[in-house]
């Protein structure tokens, strides 16, 4: 459950950062820079990957903690 929560938090943080960057660039009438898109996109993709692999990742963490 904790792994899924972390995955959703990464996705949410990525979406919020991306939308805030877009709003800031549109409010100041400057073009949207690639760097402002890449960092939130990495968080979003990492969250999706963790969410897809949540079961195996949780089992791996559990095994590591039991050792």
For the chain, which residues make up each domain, given as ranges? 2-66
pLDDT computed for residue 54 by the predictor: 94
Instruction: Report how far residue 65's alpha carbon sits from residue 36's, in angstroms, rounded to the nearest whole number.
Output: 37
Band of the pLDDT at 67, cuts 50, 70, 90? confident
pTM for the complete prediction?
A: 0.83
Instruction: Count CA atoms closer than 13 A to 21's CA, side-chain side.
Output: 17
Residue-level pLDDT at 1: 86
pLDDT of res. 23: 93
Instruction: Determine which helix (DSSP H) or strand (DSSP E) holds 9, and give its type and residue range.
Output: helix 2-27
Per-residue pLDDT at 20: 92
User: Which value, to the nearest 10 degrees, does the dihedral of the CA atoms of residues 38, 40, 42, 48 take?
Assistant: -140
Express each pLDDT in 10-62 by its tens digit: 999 999 999 999 999 999 998 988 887 898 899 999 999 999 999 999 999 99
């Amino acid at each position: 459950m904790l792994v899924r929560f972390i995955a959703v938090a990464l996705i949410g943080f990525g979406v919020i950062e991306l939308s805030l960057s877009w709003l800031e660039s549109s409010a100041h009438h400057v073009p949207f820079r690639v760097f402002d898109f890449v960092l939130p996109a990495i968080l979003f993709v990492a969250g999706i990957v963790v969410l897809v692999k949540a079961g195996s990742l949780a089992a791996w963490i559990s095994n590591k903690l039991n050792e």
